[in-house]
Amino acid sequence: MTISEKSAYLKGLMDGLKLNTESDEGKMIAAIVDLLGDVTKRVTDIEETTIAISDELDEIEEDLDAIEDYILDDEDDYDFSDDDDALDWDDDEDELDGEGPEEGFDFGDENSTIYEVECACGEIIDFDEEVLEKGSIVCPNCGETLEFSLEDEE
């Protein structure tokens, strides 16, 4: 018998006994039965919430396990041996020469587009949409101002 069923049984028992709810004892028993009904509702709500939270935590745990598996699988694709100065890809189609991105360059949000322009001095400059919207950028090598136009962009 669940707690809700027990509470309903006590309420029915009280009604079936036809207790005088005007007497002191009857008032007290009626108040206790009402209190038990309220406690039963609260406990039932807490149990349902706990089950829902537990289900959500299980889903989060599964997602984290999948992410961990993905990350660990990615690490298996690289050879991180101490004997080599450079990182080697396990795949034959791609090679990594050990040189990373230019130091100090922030790639920003992964969803943003990175543009590239070559200055007359030969310097290649990377920039994002914010710089593109400004309309110009100064070459860090020679100091020349490069201007952009968004009119031809669709």
- Provide the whole-model pTM: 0.40
- For residue 127, give every residue at least 6 positions away whose Cβ sits within 8 Å of its Cβ, in sequence order, or none: 114, 115, 116, 117, 137
Q: Where exactly are the structural domains of the chain?
A: 3-78, 101-147
Q: What is the share, in percent, of the chain residues with pLDDT greater than 90?
A: 32
CB 95 within 8 A of CB 89: yes
Across the chain, what does the average pLDDT equal?
79
Helix (H) or strand (E) holding 11: helix 3-17
* Least confident range of 18-22, 27-31, 48-52: 18-22
Instruction: Name the residue with higher pLDDT: 48 or 101.
Output: 48
CB 124 within 8 A of CB 115: no
Residues in the chain: 154
Per-residue confidence at 81, pLDDT binned at 50, 70, 90?
Answer: low
| Dist CA 47 CA 49 (whole Å) | 5
Q: What is the share, in percent, of the chain residues with pLDDT greater than 70?
A: 72
* Intra-chain end-to-end CA distance of the chain, in Å: 69
CB 58 within 8 A of CB 66: no
Closest of 138, 136, 134 to residue 121, by C-alpha? 138
pLDDT score for 111: 64
